[in-house]
Amino acid sequence: HSGTIRRATNVGLLDQPSRPREAAACISAQLRINGTDAYALIDSGSTTNSISPEFTHATKAPRIRLEEQITLQLGCVGSRSRINYGTRVP
């Protein structure tokens, strides 16, 4: 996937290293999830795999209510939420 990424320019203490455009490419894959073609972005630093509730609905993936909620904390302030459902898809 080729996307446009805007990076901060050198601003005093926040100097950014110079990288060639090719180094900014993301890792992605075309997958088939529950019989539906999907385009996925791969986050090598993530500790979980997830799909949106809308995607599970669109693909008729079975929802499994979790016995215990899972806390999801993203890498920014105030981004905490709870996961109540899971799924297993071929």
| pLDDT at position 90 | 77
Phi/psi-derived region of residue 45, left when phi > 0, alpha when psi is between -120 and 50, beta in every other case: alpha
**Structure letter (DSSP) for residue 24:** G
pTM of the model: 0.60
Question: Do the Cβ atoms of 34 and 90 come closer than 8 Å?
Answer: yes
For residue range 14-71, list pLDDT tens digits in order. Answer: 676 777 777 777 889 999 988 999 999 888 888 888 888 999 999 999 999 999 999 8
For residue range 76-86, list pLDDT tens digits in order. Answer: 777 888 999 99
| pLDDT at position 3 | 56
Tell me the three state secondary structure of residue 86: strand
